[in-house]
Amino acid sequence: MQASRARLFKEYKEVQREKAVDPEIQLICDDSNIFKWTALIKGPSETPYEGGVFQLALVVPEQYPLQPPQVRFLTKIFHPNVHFKSGEICLDILKTAWSPAWTLQSVCRAIIALMAHPEPDSPLNCDSGNLLRSGDIRGYQSMARMYTRLAAMPKKG
């Protein structure tokens, strides 16, 4: 508990320093609980998520950094490796390939990379995975873009 708190405090300071380096990622620590974080990540360019801002919820376990943070999308997203309803993410570093070499910041970077490079062979969203696997890139892109517009962009007045 003490070790995880100390580590998170270091990450907090790092996040303040990195702000300018990583404009795609905005990591915000809960005011009263250093084990709860929110991230706002920008959809990568030249993907159907471009122009969207996606909110992630990060819950850090007491065993951190020996155990990974739990991360899920709060913003609705149509992506093969994100559960459409729960926002759960299928990413090896959040499960079996986790190591303390990762940080909350680099986890967010990995999620942005996953948005740009979906892995349809291990889908959590089968509809999305099937579109990609059957080669219907246009179908996948238009669905993903529609949900980006609906859920991840400011509403036009």
6 sits near another protein (criterion: CB under 8 A): yes
The DSSP code sequence of 88-101 is BB--GGGTTT--TT
- CA–CA dist 12, 19 (Å, integer): 11
Is residue 90 among the annotated active site residues? yes
Segment 16-75, which members bind another protein (CB under 8 A)? 65-66, 70
Pick the closer one to another protein by CB: 45 or 106.
106
The site string for another protein over 67-106 (x = CB under 8 A, - otherwise) reads ---x--------------xx-x-x-xxxxxxxxxxxx---
Residues whose CB is less than 8 angstroms from the CB of residue 136 and which lie 6 or more positions away in sequence, other chains included: none
3 sits near another protein (criterion: CB under 8 A): yes
Report in angstroms how near the CB of residue 70 gets to another protein at its nearest. 6
Number of residues that bind another protein (CB under 8 A): 25
Long-range contacts of 52-55 (CB under 8 A, 24+ apart): 52/148, 52/149, 52/151, 52/152, 52/153, 53/152, 53/153, 54/115, 54/152
Where on the chain is the footprint of another protein (CB under 8 A)?
Answer: 3, 6-7, 10-11, 14, 65-66, 70, 85-86, 88, 90, 92-103
Catalytic residue set: 90
